[in-house]
Structure 1
């Protein structure tokens, strides 16, 4: 998602879900006082470099995803020496404007731990303010959220792309995909999300569909104790989806993500087919260009099992506000995280804080700029550190 799409998703979510981002009247006085004692002294812009363990190739819609992103961040410092930082989807100029306009404000003017950032707080500071509040209060973010979720959450590898198609002059084939799965399995993952839809852009349609089926079945055979998810990035049709599901036969999928552009009729037909064929596969959607009112409508009708809007695109505070609504609708959540391990880490706190997130998208990254060591992935689950804030340390 682009930054403009992030902002649109956040605003649309607020309107669709009818939440009010106001402070809790039940905030303990000592917490409010602790945040009031700190005032913003500076907001600084910076960037951190993240590296994937391997080159990530194409999906059904986009070309090569490369070797890892350089992520914009901001660091908020207070007059008492506290510092919080986080992903910042805005530029250096915006950081300078915020630095000039917010300097001297009390942290309590911008965030309430019980509910998130206030209307007076720029949404680009959502992550950094949560991190800062946690550090001032000497507690991890998940405890500010209520610690209502499990101590660890399933975490799937979101890095199984069309690497069988590369290099273009001498493709390595399915063995390369299996090699990548082996790396991720050894890294600690026990779920793989498989990108499908090769026949929509990169291969002849018939051959591409067969390759999607063969890749899925060969991964299932090679890793019988792993759980598989599939993601077509909205490039299948309903008929493509059924052809694929028939083609993989007895291979079970945990979920089918973005099979085609979300809409009532197609999801009703897909739900019916899954039920008639004894499949427990969930339908997951809401990542690309989400229309929040439509997603909520689908959830109300029992047609959307997993709500996937991006953790940054929606915003950390809006996700906090949405979750109770999703629980009432019996709709599960797994915020989109692709691109950055930072997102995976933020979601782990959301899961441990609020629950209702059975699995998290894992985006394996290494960095000389960020210490990810508190977020170990072991036997398929990701841990959440007990250190204050998000538990992510800058190394520069």
Structure 2
């Protein structure tokens, strides 16, 4: 199968999804089960995640380092259940929530059918989904409806400007190819290539040529891999066209954040892609998203992929957003960079609701978190059948 045919087929399959029942129990039975559990404590903690290699620069930011330390919270109930997840707040906020929510029924904070309720703090969104799944003895994706495929394409989001380092003796394109080889051997079959070297780190003309050369060299070295490109909003419309012309027959699945979202530029880019016979999607909505603007672009057919961060927007808001995107025939791939935890949450969203043809993979190893249920094999990430998100916390 040709690459373009594969891309079109995979997108269509993810959009259609599959059909299966979320649970044999009724919503009232779920609510009753959750009502029997009350919050006994909310504890703040941090987990250390390690990338397989140092991650360098992109067009906007400097070195991304060896991996993040992520804030989490653990919610325990009076009956001994525990759920945990990313906590986008600090220890003081966790302490406040511990004091104010103690004794509250879990059924007052989350509905398995729709997500957290208005009375629930948004910082507990992930942990409450994990907790509800464990109380109900079901993976999160089943609470969402199990409408998507059993596994989802997963691209490596770790192909950065490592050709430019070390600064006193740059490694060149071979270093980028080495990183692609590692990721390919790890299980990825899609690579997202960071571009925009000429906006901050190289002279503009030389930087553009390096972007083009890196893309074409990866395509040559990995002819059966799918390529995506991401300029982090640092290109202009003219830069984007120069890059797309420069890579010639090399196919891109999508062009991510080519320049700051605006109707005229996206309309011109769409027109150019169509006239050039390219099937490249336009993907945007990661950095500083204005949701009303993104929806407007989507309704006008100028945005193909919706990328707002899984934590930035929120897991429950994403549950609410997905049916709207489906009605507009807009695909989704929530931003996950920084943490494999996000990748895992998105895999449940994909299997639960469909409409996510590919997920951003952020490879991490950890002594604090067991990621073993989320295997990446032959380009796809699996979603475990274990209750909640299926992520085991290795620290007490």
| TM-score of the pair, normalised by structure 1 | 0.93
Residue 176 (1) aligns with residue 175 (2): yes
Does residue 1:344 correspond to 2:307, yes or no? no
Aligned equivalents of 1:315 and 1:92: distance in 2?
Answer: 20
1:113 matched to which residue of 2? 112
Give yes or no for the alignment of 1:381 onto 2:387.
no
Q: Is the 8 A contact 1:285 1:308 kept in 2?
A: yes
1:1-396 → structure 2 map (5 Å cutoff): 28-396=27-395
Q: CA deviation at 1:27?
A: 5.7
Residue deviations 1:277-307, cap 9 Å, x none? 0000000000000000000000000000000
Contact 2:27-2:113 at 8 Å conserved across structures: no
After superposition, what is the alpha-carbon deviation per residue over 1:133-155, rounded to whole angstroms, capped at 9, x for unaligned? 00000000000000000000000
Deviation by residue 1:47-104 (Cα, 9 ceiling, x = unmatched): 0000000000000000000000000000000000000000001000000000000000
Q: Is the 8 A contact 2:255 2:280 kept in 1?
A: yes
Question: Where do 5+ consecutive residues of structure 2 fail to align?
Answer: 1-24
- Residue of structure 1 equivalent to 2:3: none
CA distance in 2, matches of 1:346, 1:248: 34
Query: Is the 2:343–2:360 contact (alpha carbons within 8 Å) kept by the matching residues of 1?
Result: yes
* CA deviations over 1:15-74 (Å, ceiling 9, x no partner): xxxxxxxxxxx9622111100000000000000000000000000000000000000000
Unaligned runs of 5+ residues in structure 1 are 1-25
Aligned length: 371
Q: 1-side partners of 2:35 and 2:272: how far apart?
A: 56
**SS in structure 2 of the partner of residue 85 of structure 1:** strand
Contact 1:27 1:114 survives alignment (8 Å)? no
Q: In the aligned structure 1, how far is the partner of 2:237 from the partner of 2:189?
A: 28
Distance apart, 1:215 and its partner CA: 0.1
* Dislocated runs of 4+, deviation >3 Å: none
Q: Deviation digits for residues 213-236 of structure 1, max 9, x if unmatched?
A: 000000000000000000000000
Three-state SS of the structure 1 residue aligned to 2:84 is strand
Q: Find the residue that maps to 2:46 and give its secondary structure.
A: strand
Q: Give, in whole Å, the separation in 2 of the partners of 1:210 and 1:27.
A: 59
Q: TM-score, normalised by structure 2?
A: 0.93
Q: Give distance in 2, aligned partners of 1:165 and 1:184.
A: 19
State the shift of 1:337 in Å: 0.1
Please state whether the residue corresponding to 1:183 is helix, strand or coil: helix
Contact 2:160-2:193 within 8 A present in 1 as well: yes
SS of residue paired to 1:42: strand
Instruction: State the secondary structure of the residue aligned to 1:245.
Output: helix
Give the distance between the partners of 2:228 and 2:285, measured in 1 at CA: 16
Deviation at 1:357, TM superposition (A): 0.2
Cα distance in structure 1, aligned partners of 2:35 and 2:283: 41
SS at match of 2:73: strand
Structure 1 contact 85–129 (Cα < 8 Å) conserved: yes
Cα distance in structure 1, aligned partners of 2:184 and 2:269: 30
Distance across 1 between alignment mates of 2:124 and 2:328: 30
Aligned equivalent of 1:13 = none
Cα deviation digits, residues 245-284 of structure 1 (max 9, x gap): 0000000000000000011000000000000000000000
